């Protein structure tokens, strides 16, 4: 037991930078995470996928595996948040919809939902009443809770937490040890990543997410990825009553899915309206935004055991330059901006929303990850500079990490955003993590 702990109360630890920024504050360092940070850009992800040997959506329902994959980019990159390894299609599966992720294609839904009768059949289904049953929903919550156990909370610092509230290396050198959700001993570099991520707060937020009603409906109606979502937009106008039923159902479904994650410990959430940019602003306002607001309202009723409150929500879409204000006014705390929109223009448009200025997230072009160090650094600095015009800025890419991105470039990017020479040195060192397998005697070096 540490002496002195009783007679000198420690200063309270600050909130994690991500939560401070979502609260409209300017933390010591600009928080950064990456959409699709858990995924094919990481060799450790590819190794686990291979070893699991099950389809993507099945893997999402295996809590230890989902937690392990969620934690991989935090250990490696030292990002300011984890994002649950799952998919916007998972709640459809949990409602018994025939959905799969086809490699090289994307989500495929059979049969597609094209007319009023098919909408009626779909909307008779309920979250948690598919073949996976309530166990499927519990698996999502358990995966989130296992990730939070390693990431920590205000009450219980994370596995990598060594710094005291004042940044001192309190406890460092005490040979911290932690087992990953799959039972492997974490190595020193992984603990360093968790520690860099947790920083002075001592813990790292888990971001939960869901697909916005329109993006879910676009997949349901089209049946597969589509360029312009023509069939979905046709249904919207051809049969407004069926559209209302479909969108209301999607809003409840995704709201429930987000609530599952928040109630298991996620402390922030993101609503992905990836395809909202294919709509006219008038259609977005009248026929889409009210349902996004319904989903957000449902999500906001969930209380996170990590923070004791509801989870602030980031509303993200691509090609959304002309609908940023209604996205904000759907109830978002912050708005995510893609690289096709100028960040300064986005900040100005949001300032004109009914809700007034709000924190922004984004918006480095993912293409720049492969453009060379000099070009990338200038773009990162320009993005940080542009972000200063907003009440707060969460650094991110304009869309997901491309599968061929070099992980070392991403770690270096985190160091640059954090203005951390120490983390840049770590980022420059070559490292290959374990693949998540529990250590077996056969894996150990002879004599070790
Ligand atoms: O790291 C993270 O961001 C967390 C996990 C996450 C995934 N999908 C994992 C995933 C998140 C947040 C998503 C969201 C998602 N899924 C969206 C919205 C974001 C966006 O990109 O606009 C959409 C539209 C989907 C639907 C979906 N799922 C697509 C288009 C794909 C890619 C298909 C392909 O083969 O390229 C998926 C599969 C998927 N979701 C993978 C991952 C890691 C790849 C699975 C694999 O092949 O290993």
- Among 32, 39, 97, name the best residue to mutate to test ligand 1's pocket (greatest count of ligand atoms within 8 A of Cβ): 39
Which pair of structure tokens corresponds to residue 368? 């720049």
Choose between 119 and 432: higher pLDDT: 119
**Per-position DSSP letters for 390-420, written without gaps between them:** SS-EEEEESSPPPTT--HHHHHHHHHHHHT-
Question: pLDDT for 321-349, tens place per residue?
Answer: 999 999 999 999 999 999 999 999 999 99
Give Cβ neighbours of residue 247 (< 8 Å, ≥ 6 apart). Answer: 213, 214, 217, 287, 288, 291
Helices (H), 264-336: 281-283, 289-300, 324-329
Q: What is the DSSP letter of 154?
A: S
The answer, yes or no, to whether residue 170 has pLDDT greater than 80, is no
Q: What is the pLDDT of residue 8?
A: 52
Which ligand 1 atom is at minimum distance from the Cα of 89?
26
Question: How many whole angstroms separate alpha carbon 227 and alpha carbon 45?
Answer: 28
39: left (phi over 0), alpha (psi -120 to 50) or beta: left
> Percent of the chain beyond pLDDT 90?
88
- Nearest CA among 419, 38, 416, 412 for reference residue 206: 38
Is the alpha carbon torsion for 250, 210, 153, 434 positive or negative? positive
| Residues 167 and 200: beta-carbon distance below 8 Å | yes
Q: Residue 92 has which token pair?
A: 């459809």
Which atom of ligand 1 lies closest to the CA of 73? Answer: 1
pLDDT digits (tens, 9 = 90+) for 80-89: 999 999 999 9
Q: Which two tokens stand for residue 298?
A: 């449902």
Cβ pair 385, 377 in contact under 8 A: no
**Is the per-residue pLDDT at 132 higher than 80?**
yes
Which residues lie closer than 8 Å to 447 by C-beta, 6 or more apart?
none
β-strand partners of 109: 99
373 Cα to the center of ligand 1, angstroms: 27
Q: How would residue 172 be classed by pLDDT, with cut points 50, 70 and 90?
A: very low
Do residues 224 and 108 lie in contact, with contact meaning Cβ atoms separated by under 8 Å? yes
179's CB contacts (< 8 A; 6+ apart) are 185, 186
Q: What is the whole-number distance in angstroms between the Cα of residue 85 and the centre of ligand 1?
A: 9
249 and 187 Cβ atoms separated by less than 8 Å: no
Closest Cα to atom 29 of ligand 1: 106
Ligand 1 pocket, residues with Cβ under 6 angstroms: 35-40, 49, 56, 83, 85-89, 101, 103-104, 106-107, 209, 272, 274, 400
State in Å: Cα 87 to ligand 1 middle: 6
Report angle CA 245, 250, 252 to the nearest 5 degrees. 95
Cα 99 from Cα 223, distance rounded (Å): 9
Best residue among 33, 34, 36, 215 to mutate for probing ligand 1's pocket (most ligand atoms within 8 Å of CB) is 36
Atom number of ligand 1 nearest to Cα 403: 36
Half-sphere exposure for 427 (CA within 13 Å, toward CB): 25
CA of 258 to the centre of ligand 1 (A): 16
Q: How far is CA 142 from CA 136, 146, 181, 205, in A?
A: 10, 6, 11, 16
- Atom 42 in ligand 1: residue holding the nearest Cα: 39
* Contact assessment for residue 183 and residue 438, using Cβ atoms and an 8 Å cutoff: yes
Q: Is 422 helix (H, G, I), strand (E, B) or coil?
A: helix
Would you mind telling me the total number of residues written for the chain in this entry? 448
Which residue has a Cα nearest atom 32 of ligand 1? Answer: 106
- Which residue is closest in CA terms to ligand 1's atom 37? 106
Ligand 1 centroid–CA 401 distance in Å is 10
pTM of the model: 0.93
Going by alpha carbons, the residue nearest to atom 40 of ligand 1 is 87
Instruction: Tell the residue nearest (CA) to atom 25 of ligand 1.
Output: 88
DSSP tag of 224: S
173-204 confidence digits (pLDDT tens): 444 468 999 999 999 999 999 999 999 999 99
439 has pLDDT over 70: no
176 CA from centroid of ligand 1 (Å): 33
pLDDT, position 163: 47
Distance 213 CA to ligand 1 centre (A): 16
Q: What are the Cα distances from residue 90, in Å, to 58, 95, 127, 257?
A: 9, 9, 10, 8
């Amino acid at each position: 037991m540490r002496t002195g702990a009783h007679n000198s109360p420690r200063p309270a630890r600050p909130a994690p930078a991500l939560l401070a920024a979502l609260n409209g504050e300017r933390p010591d360092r600009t928080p950064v995470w990456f959409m699709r940070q858990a995924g094919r850009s990481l060799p450790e992800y590819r190794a686990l996928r291979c070893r699991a040997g099950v389809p993507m959506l099945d893997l999402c329902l295996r809590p230890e595996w989902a937690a392990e994959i969620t934690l991989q980019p935090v250990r490696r990159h030292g990002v300011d948040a984890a994002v649950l390894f799952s998919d916007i299609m998972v709640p459809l599966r949990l409602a018994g919809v025939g959905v799969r992720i086809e490699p090289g294609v994307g989500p495929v839904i059979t049969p597609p939902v094209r007319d009023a009768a098919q909408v009626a059949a779909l909307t008779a289904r309920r979250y948690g009443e598919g073949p996976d049953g309530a166990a499927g929903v519990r698996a999502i919550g358990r995966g989130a809770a296992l990730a939070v156990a390693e990431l920590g909370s205000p009450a219980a610092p994370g596995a990598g937490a060594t710094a005291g509230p004042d940044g001192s290396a309190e406890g460092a050198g005490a040979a911290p040890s932690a087992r990953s959700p799959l039972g492997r001993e974490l190595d020193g570099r992984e603990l360093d990543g968790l520690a860099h991520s947790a920083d002075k707060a001592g813990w790292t937020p888990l971001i939960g997410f869901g697909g916005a009603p329109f993006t879910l409906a676009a997949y349901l109606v089209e049946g597969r990825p589509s360029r312009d979502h023509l069939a979905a937009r046709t249904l919207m106008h051809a049969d407004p009553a069926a559209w209302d039923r479909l969108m209301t159902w999607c809003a409840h479904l995704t709201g429930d899915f987000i609530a599952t994650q928040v109630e298991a410990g996620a402390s922030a959430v993101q609503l992905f309206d990836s395809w909202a940019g294919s709509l006219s602003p008038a259609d977005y306002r009248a026929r889409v935004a009210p349902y996004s607001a319904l989903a957000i309202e449902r999500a906001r009723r969930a209380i996170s055991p990590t923070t004791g409150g509801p989870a602030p929500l980031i509303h993200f879409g691509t090609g959304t330059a002309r609908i940023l204000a209604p996205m904000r006014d759907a109830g978002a705390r912050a708005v995510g901006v893609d690289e096709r929109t100028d960040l300064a223009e986005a900040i100005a448009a949001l300032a004109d929303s009914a809700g007034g200025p709000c924190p922004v997230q984004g918006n480095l072009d993912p293409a720049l990850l492969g453009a060379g160090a000099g070009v990338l650094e200038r773009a990162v600095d320009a993005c940080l500079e542009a972000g200063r015009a907003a009440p707060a800025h969460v650094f991110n890419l304009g869309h997901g990490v491309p599968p061929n991105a070099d992980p070392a470039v991403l770690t270096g990017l985190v160091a640059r955003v954090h203005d951390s020479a120490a983390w840049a040195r770590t980022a420059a060192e070559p490292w290959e993590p374990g693949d998540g397998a529990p250590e077996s005697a056969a894996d150990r070096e002879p004599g070790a």
